[in-house]
C-alpha cells in the first residue's frame, strides 16, 4: 500500500466531468506494484450545496477552483483503508471536513487522518451512505438518487478496468480488477469478503432498484450497460 501523503500532492489526472445532476467525477493513474492503476474520485452535491467527496484525489488548482464553484466540501468519505492516500491533505486544506470511513477500516484510516464518524448524516434523503454487508465492515457504498435515476458508487468491491497496458492488463487481470466484464476482484474476495451470502444478498437488493443507472467504481469504467444484470451476475459469482 502506498504511504499516505502528508501534504497536497498533485499527480496526473483528468478533468472533472458531470456524471449526473449534482455529481462530478474525475480519474487519474497512480503507480502501483501492478503497474499504472486508474483511480476515481466522485463528488456529490447535497441539496444545500455542501459536497460529499468520495475517495479524494488532490487536483490541480484549476480543477479545484471548479470543484469549489460547484459547492462547499463538507464530507470526506474514505471508502476503505486502502483509499487514504490524499485524505490528510484534503483535511489540511479543508479543516471543516467531516471525515467518514466504514467501521472496519476506521483504525487504519486514522493512521492517516482522524475519522469523525462511521454513520454520517448528510441531511439529504437522496444521498445514502452504507457499510457493505459481508465485507468485514471494511467497504463503503453510496446511493445517490436524482430525477434522472439512481447512481450506485462502489469502491474496491467491483473492478472494471478495460484499458490497461499489455503487462498491466495481465497483472490486473490476475488480481481480478481488469477483464472483459466487471468482476469482484480475487484479492477482494480473499481479504474483504467474510460473508459471501450477506454480500450476495446486498448485490441482489441493489439489483432490484428499478431506477438504477450507472455504477461508479473506484478502479475502472462506469458500468452503464444493464447495471442491474451486472449486479445479478456479480452475485452469481459468489455462489
Question: 3 or 158: whose pLDDT is higher?
Answer: 158
Mean pLDDT of 4-28: 96
> What pLDDT sits at residue 175?
54
Q: What's the domain range around 46? A: 17-236
Q: How far apart are CA 17 and CA 20, in angstroms?
A: 9
Quick one: pLDDT at residue 37? Answer: 79
pLDDT at 103: 97
> Is the confidence at residue 60, as pLDDT, over 90?
yes
Q: Tell me the per-residue pLDDT of 215-229, one tens digit each, with 9 for 90 and over.
A: 999 999 999 999 999
Residue 6 lies in a domain: no
Residue position matching grid coordinates 452504507: 130
pLDDT at 173: 53
Does 202 reside within a domain?
yes
For the residues 186-204, what does the mean pLDDT come to?
92
The answer to whether the beta carbons of residues 225 and 47 sit under 8 Å apart is: no
Q: At what angle do helices 227-236 and 196-207 cross, to 10 degrees?
A: 160
Rounded to whole angstroms, what are the CA distances from 182 to 185, 189, 217?
A: 9, 14, 10
pLDDT of residue 161: 79
In a domain, 10, yes or no: no
8 found inside a domain: no
| Residue 3 pLDDT | 83
pLDDT band at 33 (very low <50, low <70, confident <90, very high): low
Q: Is residue 12 part of a domain?
A: no
**What cell does 178 get?**
481488469
Cα 66 to chain centroid, rounded: 20
Sign of CA dihedral 134, 136, 139, 141: positive
Q: Which residue has the higher pLDDT, 59 or 188?
A: 59
**The sheet that has 50-54: what strands, in order across it?**
17-20, 23-32, 35-45, 50-54, 72-77, 98-100
Which of 13-22, 41-50, 165-174 is the least confident region?
Answer: 165-174
What are 76-93's pLDDT values in tens digits? Answer: 999 999 999 999 999 999
Global pTM reads 0.92
Q: What is the CATH number of the domain that holds 207?
A: 3.60.15.10
From residue 226, give the alpha-carbon distance in Å to each of 18, 54, 221. Answer: 20, 24, 14
Please state the φ and ψ torsions of residue 87, each to the nearest 5 degrees: -65, -45
Q: What is the pLDDT of residue 83?
A: 93
Asked whether the predicted pLDDT for residue 192 surpasses 50, the reply is yes
pLDDT tens digit sequence for 148-191: 999 999 999 998 876 655 445 545 555 556 567 799 988 888 88
Q: Which pLDDT does position 32 carry in this prediction?
A: 67
Instruction: Kindly report which listed range (38-52, 63-77, 168-182, 194-208) carries the lowest average pLDDT score.
Output: 168-182
Residue 129 lies in a domain: yes
At residue 168, the pLDDT reads 52
Q: Is residue 9 part of a domain?
A: no
Q: 66-77 b/e with 16+ CB inside 10 Å = b?
A: ebeebbebbbbb
User: What pLDDT is attached to residue 167?
Assistant: 40
Q: How many angstroms separate the Cα of 70 from the Cα of each of 51, 146, 152?
A: 8, 17, 21
CA atoms lying within 13 Å on the CB side of residue 42: 30
* Helix segments in 94-184, DSSP class H: 106-109, 166-175
Domain count, the chain: 1
| Cell numbers for 31 | 503507480
Amino acid at each position: 500500500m502506498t504511504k499516505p501523503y502528508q501534504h497536497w500532492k498533485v499527480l496526473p489526472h483528468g478533468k472533472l466531468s458531470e456524471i449526473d445532476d449534482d455529481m462530478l467525477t474525475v480519474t487519474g493513474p497512480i503507480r502501483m506494484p501492478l503497474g499504472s492503476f486508474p483511480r476515481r474520485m466522485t463528488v456529490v452535491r447535497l441539496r444545500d450545496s455542501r459536497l460529499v467527496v468520495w475517495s479524494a484525489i488532490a487536483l490541480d488548482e484549476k480543477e479545484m477552483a471548479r470543484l469549489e464553484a460547484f459547492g462547499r466540501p463538507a464530507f470526506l468519505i474514505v471508502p476503505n483503508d486502502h483509499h487514504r492516500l490524499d485524505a490528510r491533505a484534503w483535511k489540511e486544506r479543508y479543516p471543516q471536513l467531516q471525515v467518514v470511513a466504514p467501521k472496519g477500516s476506521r483504525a487504519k484510516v486514522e493512521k492517516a487522518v482522524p475519522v469523525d464518524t462511521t454513520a454520517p448524516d448528510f441531511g439529504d434523503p437522496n444521498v445514502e451512505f452504507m457499510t457493505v454487508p459481508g465485507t468485514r465492515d471494511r467497504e463503503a457504498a453510496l446511493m445517490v438518487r436524482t430525477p434522472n435515476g439512481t447512481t450506485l458508487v462502489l469502491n474496491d468491491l467491483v473492478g472494471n478496468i478495460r484499458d490497461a497496458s499489455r503487462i498491466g492488463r495481465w497483472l490486473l487481470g490476475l488480481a481480478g480488477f481488469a477483464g472483459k466484464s466487471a468482476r469482484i476482484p480475487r484479492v477482494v474476495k480473499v481479504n474483504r469478503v467474510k460473508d459471501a451470502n450477506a454480500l450476495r444478498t446486498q448485490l441482489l437488493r441493489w439489483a432490484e432498484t428499478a431506477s438504477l443507472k450507472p455504477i461508479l467504481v473506484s478502479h475502472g469504467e462506469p458500468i452503464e450497460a444493464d447495471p442491474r444484470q451486472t449486479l445479478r451476475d456479480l452475485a452469481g459469482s459468489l455462489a
